[in-house]
Structure 1
């Protein structure tokens, strides 16, 4: 029996992604223009970072739109998985950009150019407002939606980087420290790399059908084994289908008493309420003729 209860999931939030993408694209163009005009690596690096975010947000926007497509004969789950692949591509982009920024910043340390500080401060201050406002637009559900979380973390990190650029501009203006420009760019690269690593690891795990980090597989197995009439649990698999949707399959060895339909319906509701597993597929076996039951092994190796 396959059931999925309690998901009034909002696939998409495409309007929020669209607005955030367009706002960031406009600001990136503005920042890059001032960066070239003033020869400021701090502004150019932040603009490059923002360009990476625009690409990432564009991917998240497209993924949210794809996730709304209905299942087909070929894609029976629909396109929900796009919300897992988007953060993976997003993280890879960030890793590449961080390396490029660090290389250019180190090259400039030997002879940092003189940078007009006030334009750097003004443009970076606009960036703080833009990024915090954009993060506010995608804040809903980011704790449980990897796609939104990737966008949200990018935008908050951008605001912090813009703040660093403002402080660097202040240091150049008041103290004449021209080395703060490449130092800020190097800091940008570090911020990108640190943020990207966690997102890369989590999105890679999701793409490889790992058990979602919020779920303890052993706890789910113990919960299933404790159900009335259940004598064994095997072939338990838990993975993410997409934003806010968790699938599970399991074989339950249960005695031949009646009432399996009511048992499964109650268990499906319980899995959703307790663990957030809203796509459970449960197979009930009587344990007398099933090949699996004679060769129950650990989760990492099954005999069929």
Structure 2
């Protein structure tokens, strides 16, 4: 989109590569993959496992299995959150939401991380309580606990694998993957603790293993929590170096200066940029096209909005550094 204004020499140009396949003519696209089938399968598997775990927990009066069933129910909520975020991205912008609903994926990633941290806090609290009052009856329930936890390993690992390929490029999908991988680790720890408890009679091992697993999961989830919170406050995505972006724009033919440069995440897989370029070039179309191509090629920035200014206009631009706004 291009707009010129008669009362100023400014030229505003906006382009979103996410709608045209990206890359302009470079022939490659990095559009987010469709994970609808993965979410549907993962949710169905986990609902089935919650029912099995809750049934056997009630049948043998195992608080451990009942508590883990409640924890796995939070997995279903986490997957629903992540799925809702990916579906919201597809909602078209409107007059009241001009950027659409891409930010829902960041909110989902944040909620998923927060949910996992709270779940691990609850698990650690329960484990500390059991350290002071070990349950001797766990030894007799060892086989049942191991079998049910073994099913949990299969279910959670299978679900995590469904999201593995999208974890590097989409923070929301990474959140779903971490959530399920963490639960596979929890189930594995329960199996090991159950086996040793059955063999050695170490009923204290169950809460100790739970604490260790909770610590490992919190360590792995903390980065997801920080990144999603950073993006919620319009922080520059970790994949983009702002100084390198400025250097790239300054290196474009005819560009004398760059100010009011902003880079932020519209969603977990959509990066946007706005900037004012000071230039005296007559071929503005070529400059804009090259800027879009370079930003997409080097930084995966899909939504680019540039304002071109003459040197004379830049001296009075309200957003120029030193005139009341940070550039």
Q: Which residue of 2 aligns with 1:302?
A: 325
CA contact (8 A) 2:260 2:326 kept: no
TM-score by length of 2: 0.85
Q: Distance in 1 between matches of 2:44 and 2:147?
A: 21
Q: Which residue of 2 aligns with 1:58?
A: 80
1:265 pairs with 256, 270, 289, which one?
Answer: 289
| Cα 1:77–1:58 shift into 2, 3 Å | same
Q: Which residue of 2 aligns with 1:2?
A: 14
Q: Which residue of 2 aligns with 1:169?
A: 194
Aligned length, in residue pairs: 301
The root-mean-square deviation of aligned C-alpha atoms, in Å, is 2.2
1:73 pairs with 67, 71, 95, which one?
Answer: 95
Deviation at 1:250, TM superposition (A): 0.6
| Cα 1:176–1:76 shift into 2, 3 Å | same
Q: Which residue of 2 aligns with 1:206?
A: 231
CA contact (8 A) 1:120 1:166 kept: yes
Q: Which residue of 1 aligns with 2:206?
A: 181
Q: Which residue of 1 aligns with 2:42?
A: 20
1:144-169 deviation per Cα after TM superposition (whole angstroms, max 9, x unaligned): 11110000111111111111111101
Q: Distance in 2 between matches of 1:198 and 1:34?
A: 35
CA contact (8 A) 1:42 1:182 kept: no
Q: Distance in 2 between matches of 1:119 and 1:3?
A: 59
CA contact (8 A) 1:12 1:67 kept: no
Deviation at 1:75, TM superposition (A): 1.1
2:125 corresponds to 1:103 = yes
Q: Which residue of 2 aligns with 1:152?
A: 177
Deviation at 1:293, TM superposition (A): 8.1
CA contact (8 A) 2:273 2:303 kept: yes
Q: Distance in 2 between matches of 1:131 and 1:193?
A: 18
1:253-295 deviation per Cα after TM superposition (whole angstroms, max 9, x unaligned): 111x311111101210111011101111111111202323895
TM-score by length of 1: 0.91
| Cα 1:233–1:33 shift into 2, 3 Å | same
2:300 pairs with 260, 276, 290, which one?
Answer: 276
Q: Which residue of 2 aligns with 1:245?
A: 270
Deviation at 1:18, TM superposition (A): 2.0
Q: Which residue of 1 aligns with 2:6?
A: none
CA contact (8 A) 1:246 1:278 kept: yes
Q: Distance in 2 between matches of 1:135 and 1:190?
A: 20
Q: Distance in 2 between matches of 1:8 and 1:199?
A: 22
1:81-124 deviation per Cα after TM superposition (whole angstroms, max 9, x unaligned): 11110111112222222222222211111221121111111111
2:104 corresponds to 1:82 = yes
- Listed as ranges, the gaps of 5+ residues in structure 1 are none
CA contact (8 A) 1:64 1:82 kept: yes
| Cα 1:48–1:187 shift into 2, 3 Å | farther
